[in-house]
Amino acid sequence: MGAFADTVQRRLRDGVSARCAGLDWETEYDIAGTPVDVAGVGVDELVLVELEWRRADPADNTAKLFRHLDSGEIAVPNVTVVQLFTAYYDLARGGISSKRKNATFVGRAAADAFESVRYRPLDLAIDPPKRGGPRPDGWRETVDSVVERLVEIVESGEGAD
């Protein structure tokens, strides 16, 4: 994803780690060879956060995770998948791209199919710069506000919209 995305990933991890001490938080968490951007790991709970930066097919991330769940490679009684979409997936004329709609559809369908799974799409209101471009103003505050939402989701057990 690039150095800036890695920085955002670490800031997300550090932010939720400081507030949700009941889980061990890490980046690039491995599930059957699939790295998840940020994960909170507990005995009976797993929180998986996918950062959709500029991915051509964000539905692939959710589909892979739910395929691993279906195969038993994720064997935790409570799984929350949060997909963070940057402004890259916003349309200039308003609304969101079909790529994001497809990813959200896959996530919600999987959450409906598995009783133990919750899915939550969230906005990460950062317009990711192209490789080497300047970081947008206010990115830290934007990430910190998403950390607040992640903490609320984890603590409340909040499911899909």
Give the residues across from 39 on adjacent strands.
26, 48
17-69 per-position pLDDT tens digit = 999 988 999 999 999 888 999 999 999 999 999 999 988 899 998 899 889 98
Q: How many CA atoms lie within 13 A of 131 on its CB side?
A: 2
136, 96 contact by CB (below 8 A): no
116, 77 contact by CB (below 8 A): yes
In 10 A of CB 146, how many CB atoms?
24
- pLDDT above 70 as % of the chain: 97
Q: CATH classification of 3-155 is 3.40.1350.10, yes or no?
A: yes
Average pLDDT over residues 85-112: 92
Q: Tokens for 74?
A: 């994720």
Predicted local confidence at residue 158, as pLDDT: 62
> Taking Cα atoms as reference points, which of 89, 71, 87, 69 lies closest to residue 79?
69
127, 136 contact by CB (below 8 A): yes
Tell me the domain boundaries of the chain.
Answer: 3-155
